[in-house]
Structure 1
Amino acid sequence: MRLPVSNFSVYGAHMSDTISEATLSEFDRDTSVRQREPGVHDTDLSQGWAIGHALNGGYLLATLGRALGETLPHPDPFTITAHYLSATTHGPAVIRSEVVRTGRTLSTGTAGLFQTGADGREVERIRVLASYGDLDTVTGDVRTSAEPPAMPPPGQCFSARDNPAGPDAGPEMGKRLDLRLDPATCGWAVGAPSGRGEMRAWLGLADARDPDPMSLLMAVDALPPTAFEMGLSGWVPTVELTVHVRARPAPGLLRVSVTTVNLAGGFLEEDVEVWDSADRLVAQSRQLARAKVG
């Protein structure tokens, strides 16, 4: 779930505050869950991953992914699909998970994220269906026509330091990321969108934590919406997001490419590829999102 960014308020590199838990990165701390009983986890959703009033859909998916990882017998998400039912805000939440099936190589489960509404009743915010496996058992046989996106080196891309309003002027989530946008997909930031549904960037966490399968669930939803480069503005909430994790990523910055080829009836799709520093395609996703048109 993503909200508008004004002028050059791009998400970008900004070192986060010192984390009190020396062994945890900010991402690990903010996506942590506590088991109350089998299949029930409590979590405290952090405002640090907000974009406007709502929390980012990728951050929320990673939090749900952790709960499922503690519920299912396999450690890594292979495919996970989330339906976003209503906007999730920071604060306490409960995740209820259920094992649907277990097998030798894959296990499947469902999970729902719930918060207490203004009327005191519990409201389901997100519903997830996922299959988990062990990425360490995936073979090295790769046959693909996909290629890493052509991008300038990180030092020639735009980060929060290039924002005329200052590095802290962007969304709160931007302070948790090292995001460097390809200049070819930044026309929207200076009032000259290209009209193409493309967004590309180098991506890491601001505290330099290396990527892993859980952070990939966040990475697929971390860039500004392609709608901006198509000349649109405003809220672009995610309706549904499916992520395929293909490999455990190598250390270093990720390259993320997002494309949209069809905006119709107020909805658009975003297809995402995430490449690691070893030039491997480590994650893919597709989401359906609403777009404000007119």
Structure 2
Amino acid sequence: MAQATIGNSEFDRDTAVTPREPGVHDAELSSAWTIIHAVNGGYLLAMAGRALGEVLPHSDPFTVTAHYLTASRPGPARIRTEVVRTGRTLSTGQASLTQLDENGAEVERLRVVAGYGDLGALPDDVRTTAKPPAMPPFEECLGARHADDEVGALLGATEIAGRLDVRLDPATAGWARGKPSGNGEMRAWFRLADGRDADPLSLLLAVDALPPTAFEMGISGWVPTVELTAHIRSRPAPGPLRVAITTRNLAGGFLEEDAEVWDSRDRLVAQSRQLARAQLG
């Protein structure tokens, strides 16, 4: 099978939006990107990001903040966008994703505020103390394709698993064997299953595609995102990404997840922080 390319892949088709009228797009939330019955938050963020990219004069997301208001379900959706401000190097917009409930009433699922620019125009100067996560090579990490392993069985248990090739660092996979480390850490290699290389839009998916750190803290069950902010720092080089997520504080039933995404050239290409609700007790 030929490797999918940017613009011609399952991810691109499933995040496509169709203009209905100025500021309004129609979309179809695919069941292929679900966890249990809910649509993955990173997939929703990428779809809203695509709609904003079509109405703003700049093409690349720099900062995207989303509030998840209600759980999305597969099926038709509508995205309303508004251009808030346009500038020479940065433009700001907002988007609202809605669906109809069983009574035909419109329900808002997601609200986004984002800043867009041109990643290719940024200077090359990098001054950082950040380092790529230390983890085994791609081939030595554990994924859904290891069907004879507890980790592979659990990773492959959701619809979204068929769209992704996630290879967990064994040091953060104890939860799948009933032996969570107690540390709020999750590390993995990440790429789309059809071989499509990453781009700024798919980085919005990558920051929310790993199992929640709560699992490795010994907490099971759904961990819904309340708010997520992603910063896209550079266009990623071809090849698998490395994603490292940490949680330092769980209090009052809420935890934060801080994510870093590194490309094959050891560049920090995306960062995010999200607040999520842990199902305790």
TM-score range, shorter chain: over 0.9
Distance in 1 (CA, whole Å) between partners of 2:273 and 2:121 is 25
Give the alignment partner of residue 162 of structure 1, picking from 143, 146, 161.
146
Query: 2:104 is matched with which residue: 102, 120, 141?
Result: 120
Find the aligned partners of 2:109 and 2:164 in 1 and give their Cα distance.
25
Paired position in structure 1 for 2:75? 91
Return 32-41 or 269-278, whichever deviates more.
32-41
> Which of the numbers 233, 241, 254 marks the counterpart of 2:241?
254
Q: What's the offset of the Cα at 1:169?
A: 4.3
Q: Report the equivalent of 1:46.
A: 30
Give the AA of the match of 1:153: P
Query: What's the counterpart of residue 179 of structure 2?
Result: 192
Q: What secondary structure, in the 3-state scheme, does the structure 1 residue paired with 2:142 have?
A: coil
Q: Distance in 2 between matches of 1:169 and 1:216?
A: 21
Partners of 2:22 and 2:239 lie apart in 1 by 35
Matches of 2:6 and 2:259, distance apart in 1? 33
Cα 1:227–1:109 shift into 2, 3 Å: same
Say which SS state the counterpart of residue 34 (structure 1) adopts. Answer: strand
Pairs within 5 Å for 1:137-176: 137-164=121-148, 169-176=156-163
CA-atom RMSD in angstroms: 1.9
Whole-angstrom distance in 1 between the partners of 2:145 and 2:222:
24
Distance apart, 1:220 and its partner CA: 0.1
**C-alpha deviations, 1:49-87, integer Å up to 9, x for none?**
000010000000000000000011100000000000000
Cα displacement (A) at 1:161: 2.2
1:236-277 per-position Cα deviation (integer Å, ceiling 9, x unaligned): 000000000000000000000000000000000000000000
Give the Cα–Cα distance (whole angstroms) in 2 for the partners of residues 274 and 23 of structure 1: 21
Give the secondary-structure state (helix, strand or coil) at the position aligned to 1:162.
coil
Match in the other structure for 2:9: 25
Q: What is the aligned counterpart of 1:183 among 170, 176, 179? A: 170
DSSP-derived class of the 1:61 partner: helix
Per the alignment, in what secondary structure is the counterpart of residue 243 of structure 1? strand
Deviations 1:153-191 (A, max 9, x none): 011100112233776841100100011000000000000
Gaps of 5+ in 2: none
Letter of the structure 2 residue corresponding to residue 204 of structure 1: R
User: CA distance change for structure 1 residues 191 and 282 in 2, over 3 Å: closer, same or farther?
Assistant: same
Q: In percent, how many aligned pairs have the same letter?
A: 69
Change (3 A) 1:170 1:133: same
The higher-RCO structure (CA 8 Å, 6+ apart) is 1
Q: What SS does structure 1 have at the residue aligned with 2:210?
A: coil
User: Which secondary structure state, in structure 1, belongs to the residue aligned with residue 113 of structure 2?
Assistant: strand
Whole-Å Cα distance in 2 between the matches of residues 58 and 154 of structure 1?
A: 22
Change (3 A) 1:22 1:223: closer
Partner SS for 2:145 = helix
Alpha carbons 2:156, 2:162 under 8 Å: kept:
no
C-alpha distance in 2, partners of 1:85/1:169? 27
Give TM-score, length-normalised by structure 1. Answer: 0.91
Instruction: Measure how far apart 1:293 and its partner are.
Output: 1.5
- Tell me the TM-score normalised to structure 2 length: 0.96
Q: Structure 1 CA distance, aligned partners of 2:74 and 2:8?
A: 20
Report the equivalent of 1:7. none
Whichever residue aligns with residue 203 of structure 1, its letter is F
**Given that residues 6 and 199 in structure 2 are in contact (C-alpha distance below 8 angstroms), is that contact kept between their aligned partners in structure 1?**
no
Q: Any idea what SS the aligned residue of 1:69 has? A: helix
Q: Deviations over 1:120-145 (max 9, x none)?
A: 11111000000000001011100000
Q: What SS is found at the alignment partner of 1:222?
A: coil
**What is the aligned partner in structure 1 of residue 188 from structure 2?**
201
Distance 1:243 1:191, change over 3 A: same
- Alignment partner of 1:161: what SS? coil
The residue aligned with 2:218 is 231
Structure 1 counterpart of 2:229, from 221, 242, 256: 242
Secondary structure, aligned partner of 1:207: coil
